[in-house]
């Protein structure tokens, strides 16, 4: 069993930055693909960025060049640095860890970008 706890959301003006952090319980996090998804009102949850245990990354086209994902397997953390935020980035952001048939979600953290 893995539990994920996010922090770092909030309200920011367009052009600003936020840093989201996720701490995972359980040693199996080291083997997981870890990342971030977002869900805006009335929309489906969608990928923001993921990173494999080996460090390979995948970003949504809409955030490339603005967001950076990183992880520290020793500390069981995955972080999303969000720069040059836009109002359309407003959503609830969820931490995710998955491997094999296992798939875990955090409770979500709200990010609101004002214009």
pLDDT tens string 51-104: 999 999 999 999 999 999 999 999 999 999 999 999 999 999 999 999 989 999
Answer yes or no: is pLDDT of 1 > 90.
no
Per-residue model confidence (pLDDT) at position 6: 95
Answer yes or no: is pLDDT of 4 > 80.
yes
SS3 89: helix
- As a whole number of angstroms, the distance between CA 75 and CA 56 comes to 18
Answer yes or no: is pLDDT of 107 > 90.
yes
Answer yes or no: is pLDDT of 30 > 90.
no
SS3 88: helix
Burial class (CB in 10 A: 0-12, 13-18, 19+), 12: middle
Summarised one tens digit per residue, pLDDT across range 16-25 is 999 999 999 9
Task: State the CB neighbour count (10 A cutoff) for residue 66.
Answer: 15
Characterize the bridge pairing of strands 109-114 and 91-99.
antiparallel
């Amino acid at each position: 069993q893995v539990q994920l706890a996010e922090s770092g959301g909030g309200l920011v003006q367009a052009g600003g930055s936020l840093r989201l952090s996720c701490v995972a319980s359980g040693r199996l996090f080291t083997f997981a693909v870890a990342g971030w998804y977002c869900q805006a009102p009335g929309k489906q949850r969608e990928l923001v960025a993921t990173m494999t245990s080996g460090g390979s990354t995948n970003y949504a086209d809409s955030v490339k060049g603005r967001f950076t994902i990183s992880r520290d397997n020793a500390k069981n953390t995955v972080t999303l640095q969000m720069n040059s935020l836009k109002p359309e980035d407003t959503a609830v952001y969820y931490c995710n860890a998955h491997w094999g048939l296992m798939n875990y979600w955090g409770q979500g953290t709200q990010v609101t970008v004002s214009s």
